[in-house]
Amino acid sequence: MRTYRVTLGCDPEFFITGTNDKVLAADKFLPHKSSGFPIYFDGIQAEINPSPSTCRDSLRHNIWYCLCGVRNKISETGNDARMTVKASAPIEQEVIDKAHEDAKVFGCAPSRDCYKNGTAGSVTIDASKHLKRYCGGHIHLGRGGRFPVFWFHNNQIELVRLLDILVGNTCVLIDHGEEGRIRREHYGRAGEYRLPKHGLEYRVLSNFWLQHPIFMYLVMGLARGAVNIFYQDEFTVQRIFELVTERDVCEAINENRPDLAWFNYKKIEPLLFNTFTHCEYYAFPLRQANRKVWYYMIAETFGAVPEPSLWGRQIKEQNLLQRWARGFGLESYRRNLNRSTYSLISEYKWFRKWNWQSTMKKIFGLV
């Protein structure tokens, strides 16, 4: 299968927190969304809108640039607040009462639902009294090369179904915490999307991938893979739809069930490996060569690995800006690990001995 470029974008949200992780209103630090700046407040949350790119590393740099802007805005206030990546968080009524009027309304336009033939739903919560807030990590897929805007709009239903299986379901394997489950009570349900003027916005994912660039590389690589499969290989698309039912993928996503997500994923893993085998190594993350690193990423979210990974250590030891200043994906990590290069020499020794079959069987009961 050939690799066609897809314009990749995003508009992740996150919290600005103060003492004891108390959520603060982002309007105290950032301009209004209507300002035209790529950093702004959206309700109580902070949001960034980095410039899109067909290259994931360029997108990483654009995200880092926006995060630097948020950090500078916070510093200008003299506050020691920080950026916090959580899918959901409690908020005090006092913070809501003192926030900008737009922060007291859930102002998002309704999402469409591919399982209801693209009809739009709505959120009916009273934001002025609701003491929780939720952060999304939406993916924007846009025109570029062989993919004009009308292609995304004409294929919206089936394409979002495929994105649910390849992106939404797969990400449940690493984003299965309680915060994500709470968010999905109101946002990020299976099949949610919009049709902006530039293409398609996939709205299922939380902001979990903002924790580290390796998760962004994974998510965007999966999305690019879904678009390429849908465009080039009708047989594989239909086979994926036959193997993973709508009911199973919706239940795995909506209930944040990693056990069912693993069951769904293992049905299509051989098909994905076969499809992506002859593509450029950097184009799609889920390949046979990357399987052991991919499984290690999953196992680490369950605390079932002998040592923390490089990205796991960075999440614990570095702040958000430090993590995003440089990046690497599963593909480059695996290649450098196998060559025992960079700072991975110690990891290479124990990673080589790690028994992934035994670990995954303990976690999910099957391999």
**Nearest alpha-carbon partner for 46 in 126, 8, 100:** 100
Is the dihedral angle over the CA atoms 198, 195, 187, 171 positive or is it negative?
negative
CB burial of residue 323 (10 Å; 0-12, 13-18, 19+): buried
Quickly list H helices, 155-212: 156-163, 169-172, 178-183
pLDDT at site 169 = 98
Residues sharing a CB contact under 8 Å with residue 176, sequence separation 6 or more, in sequence order: 256, 257, 258, 261, 301
pLDDT at site 342 = 47
Q: Is 113 helix (H, G, I), strand (E, B) or coil?
A: strand
Alpha carbon distance 121, 159 (integer Å): 19
Residue 194: both structure tokens together: 């919009």
> Global pTM?
0.94
Question: Quick check: 141 and 8 in contact, CB under 8 A?
Answer: yes
Alpha carbon distance 225, 4 (integer Å): 9
**Nearest alpha-carbon partner for 355 in 301, 272, 296:** 296
The kind and range of the H/E element at 93 are: helix 93-98
Alpha carbon distance 125, 351 (integer Å): 47
- Provide the residue type at 209 as one letter: W
Rounded to the nearest 5 degrees, what angle is found at the Cα of 164, between the Cα atoms of 161 and 165? 95
Question: Phi and psi (nearest 5°) for 219?
Answer: -60, -50
Residues sharing a CB contact under 8 Å with residue 31, sequence separation 6 or more, in sequence order: 37, 39, 40, 41
Alpha carbon distance 90, 150 (integer Å): 40
Domain boundary assignment for the chain: 7-364
pLDDT mean by block of 10 residues, the chain; 367 residues: 89 94 94 91 95 95 98 93 96 93 78 88 80 96 84 95 98 96 94 95 97 96 94 94 97 97 97 83 80 93 90 93 92 70 60 88 83
Question: Quick check: 329 and 79 in contact, CB under 8 A?
Answer: no
Alpha carbon distance 208, 230 (integer Å): 26
Rounded to the nearest 5 degrees, what angle is found at the Cα of 200, between the Cα atoms of 199 and 202? 160
Question: Quick check: 44 and 25 in contact, CB under 8 A?
Answer: yes
Rounded to the nearest 5 degrees, what angle is found at the Cα of 134, between the Cα atoms of 261 and 164? 30
pLDDT at site 350 = 74
CB burial of residue 243 (10 Å; 0-12, 13-18, 19+): middle
So what's the architecture of 7-364 in CATH? 2-Layer Sandwich (3.30)
Radius of gyration of the chain (CA): 20
